[in-house]
Amino acid sequence: MHVIREDGSLDPTLDPGLSIDQVVALYKAMLRTRIVDDRLEKLQRQGRIAFHVGSLGEEAAIIGAAAALRDRDWIVPCYREVGALLWRGYPLQRYVDHMYGNAGDPLRGRQMPDHTFSKSHRYLSVSAPIGTQIPHAVGVAMAAKKRGLDECVGVFFGDGATSSNDFHAAMNFAGVYEAPVLFLCRNNGFAISLRTEHQTAARTMAEKAAAYRVPAARIDGNDVLAVWRAVREGVQRATDGGGPTFIELMTYRLGGHSTSDDPSIYRSQSEVDSWRKADPLARLRKHIEQRDVWNDDLESDWRAICDAEVKECVLRAEEKPAPELRGMFTDVYAEQPWHLREQEAQCVGGPRAKDEGDES
């Protein structure tokens, strides 16, 4: 399904009817996400952060889906969807602090970069092993259903996750019990380095949903308005008691799987260049320029604002100390048992390298 045509106009039969202000907000969020991604990748290359998972080329699939979900709905991410969290108003400073694992990191430096969460923004913690977040999402959806809440869950995963055990268990459970969950499959062409056609014999990811009698759609994941429309229809189905929806978001990962990946080993530059012509930002920008609400000056101004914002966040993050040493003993038990209190005292009172500093 396409909403934005090649010339930038909209298909009137599929136009989801968003206001122009809403459409511009989508573009600005996608561009902000890309600018943050670019800065974090540079920081990793400079050795200032350890790791980053970007979303270059997949911004429409992520931001469009997050925008179509309601504020009361839950997002269960893979590890590439921090743009969805930022869309919901998560402070960029808190995210950058997490990437540094400093004292401002809500996870106290215990988790890998890009594995953040926010209960207040209804964004679950990342579960890194492939596909494991999918049954978590079904569980959250079933909990909402049992409590009679008007909530649904959107769970993101890649095409490779559809070959995992957890995917099939979750789909089966959701189909049987009509869980209000949206399975948001970002088909970006690769399961890390393995091409989609090499990791499954299925012609499409969407056809896998038929085995569990889950309604499915296959749409252009680089068309943010098509993404918004399909996800909002799934939200409505869940709200009406119609159960789950599977949405295959056809997109392309323009960057590496992560900063630890060298994609040039398994794909050609000419292939990447051909996909750049379908860049979701360029497509949406053509549309809003047609409607005389965006131009080069506005683009330059917004880029400058985003760039200054992320630079300031980095500056502040690098000024913050490491998490307190005693932090490793907290957030495990409601009431800390005696043996951990004893170990904590021994740890913070014991010898420690001077250059590490004493945070106790």
Task: Judge contact between 295 and 97, C-beta under 8 A.
Answer: no
Q: Is 303 considered catalytic here?
A: no
Select which of 232, 257, 283, 287 is catalytic. 257
Q: Say if domain 20-323 classifies as CATH 3.40.50.300.
A: no
pLDDT, tens digit, 9 for 90 and up, residues 270-280: 999 999 999 99
How many other C-beta atoms are found inside a 10 Å radius of the C-beta of residue 322? 16
Q: Quick one: pLDDT at residue 205? A: 96
Please determine, for residue 353, whether its predicted confidence score (pLDDT) is greater than 70: no
Name the nearest CA neighbour of 80 among 20, 4, 148, 133. 133
Work out whether the CA dihedral 153, 61, 167, 247 comes out positive or negative. positive
Please determine, for residue 359, whether its predicted confidence score (pLDDT) is greater than 90: no
Please determine, for residue 118, whether its predicted confidence score (pLDDT) is greater than 50: yes
Please work out, in degrees rounded to the nearest 5, the angle formed at the alpha carbon of residue 189 by the alpha carbons of 185 and 190. 95
Q: What is the DSSP string of 175-206?
A: HHHT--EEEEEEE-SEETTEEHHHH---S-SG
pTM (2 decimals)? Answer: 0.94
Which are the contacts of 268, defined by CB distance < 8 A and separation ≥ 6?
none
| Mean pLDDT within 212-219 | 97
Select which of 266, 291, 326, 341 is catalytic. 266
In this prediction, residue 330 has a pLDDT band, given cuts at 50, 70 and 90, of confident
Q: Is 257 considered catalytic here?
A: yes
Where along the chain do its domains lie?
20-323, 325-360
Do the bridges between strand 216-220 and strand 245-250 make them parallel or antiparallel, or are there none, so unpaired?
Answer: parallel
Q: Quick one: pLDDT at residue 349? A: 86
Q: Quick one: pLDDT at residue 356? A: 52
Select which of 253, 283, 285, 287 is catalytic. 253
Name the nearest CA neighbour of 253 among 193, 296, 205, 304. 193
